[in-house]
Chain A
Amino acid sequence: MITVDDFWSALIESNVTFFSGVPCSLLKNILTGLSRFDAIRYVDATREDAALGLASGVSLCGIKSGILIQNSGLGNIINGVSSLNLIYKIPVLIIVTWRGSYKNDAPEHIIIGKVSSKLLRLFKIPVYILETKRQIKEAVARMDALKVPVAIMIKELTTA
């Protein structure tokens, strides 16, 4: 798994500098580490779809943006992805944790955990399962080329 510094520096090197989101315990170190990166602007949102809306407005104006959410919030963003981002071609990097992907997770994560990557792929969203820094740059390059949202899924707590 990559470190928090690798995570944010890969995004900065790819010019993705504006983020919104709703916290997840798996994002704890990533969000705490934000304070070390002045180049990143983060605005917390009240819901995942509001994060998507905010990031989409920023992206529309030519600043590359992303959201940081838990997969329990995937259902909340689907209408925005399908009836805003995909038809207007507004790219947003969807960084989403993957609860329910490991054994013995809490019951509320089991069902969505089984279908999380499939759900994104159903909407033709390219999905990367985060393991290396290079994948982040590949995901952003793909987003730039396709002008649609691209997802990066995080299965474990990033090293502080």
Chain B
Amino acid sequence: MNRRQALEEIMAFLGDGDIALFTTGKISREAFRIQDRKANFYMVGSMGLISSFSLGVAYACPEKQVLIFDGDGSAFMNLGSLAMVSRSKLANITHIILDNGVYASTGNQKCISSEIDISALANALQYKWVKTVADVEDLRICLKYLKRKRGPRFLRVMIDTIEGVSPPRIGISPLRITRRFQSAIRQLSIR
């Protein structure tokens, strides 16, 4: 399974009312290319902040499911934020790590995640539910029962590094991302 396949599977599972936030670099770009939606937030900079930022969204929107699409590199950048996500005990948060063991956005330099198992850390940090999947079939099965589990959930998805053409930059401005997201939140709240 590569990044694109993993994102396609997980994004197909997103409901209309779900909020999805994507970390810096190719994860955001790939998500934008696969299925752009107003309730998607693409974080183009501030590497390492997607988990704390998404936690803030989950605190503010307790009635919505909040899915964090993190990378192994960006998750390791701010391990304290993982502790904050777990400690929140928020049932509506799912922390997904797309783990390829490298910094794919900057040229596949080796990341510490290739030596240290981040799901073992997630267990130690007391996430309510921790799972690692390594192929598409397991991911599909996991997604089927994920929503029945109480959060904070932690899902590590092992992915291969994609060779070749990288996804293009996100075609909308950061300010547009903010405004669309805020209008989506307001619409979701009315329902």
Interface assignment of B146: CB less than 8 Å from any CB of chain A? no
CB pair B57 A61 closer than 8 Å: yes
Max count, chain B CB within 10 A of own CB: residue among A45, A57, A62: A57
User: Could you say which of A45, A58, A82, A84 contacts B60, with CB atoms under 8 Å apart?
Assistant: A58
Q: Report whether B178 and A88 are in contact in the complex, using a CB–CB cutoff of 8 Å.
A: yes
A159 beta carbon closer than 8 Å to chain B: no
Q: Which of A39-60 contact B (CB under 8 A)?
A: 41, 43, 45-47, 49-60
Within 8 A of A (CB), among B55-107: 55-61, 78, 80-81, 83-84, 88
Partner of B43, one of A50, A51, A55, A84: A84
Measured as residues with beta carbon below 8 angstroms from the partner, the interface class of chain A is: 20 to 34
**What chain B residues lie within 8 Å of A57 (beta carbons)?**
52-60
**Contact A53/B51 with A79-B45, A83-B45, A89-B178 known, Cβ cut-off 8 Å:** yes
Tell me whether A141 is interfacial, beta carbon within 8 Å.
no
Which one, B61, B83, B175, B181, contacts A87 given CB within 8 A? B175
Interface presence of B49 (CB below 8 A) = yes
B58: chain A residues within 8 A (beta carbon)? 57
Interface pair B78/A60, CB less than 8 Å apart: no
Interface centre among A18, A50, A84 (most CB of B within 10 A): A50
Q: Are B44 and A83 in contact (CB under 8 A)?
A: yes
Known contacts A46-B81, A57-B59, A58-B57; A84/B49 CB under 8 A? yes
Contacts of B41 in A (CB 8 A): 60
Contact between A60 and B57, CB atoms less than 8 A apart = yes
A58 near B59 (CB under 8 angstroms)? yes
B112 to nearest A CB, angstroms?
18
Measured CA separation A87–B50 after assembly (Å) = 15
Q: When the two chains form their complex, are residues B54 and A90 in contact, meaning their CB atoms are under 8 A apart?
A: no
**Interfacial residues, chain B to chain A (CB-CB below 8 A):** 41, 43-61, 78, 80-81, 83-84, 88, 174-175, 177-178, 181-182, 185-186
Report A's interface with B, CB cutoff 8 A.
18, 20, 41, 43, 45-47, 49-63, 65, 79-80, 82-84, 87-90
Sampled A-B contacts (10; CB under 8 Å): A45-B52, A53-B51, A56-B49, A57-B59, A58-B56, A60-B181, A61-B182, A84-B53, A88-B178, A90-B178
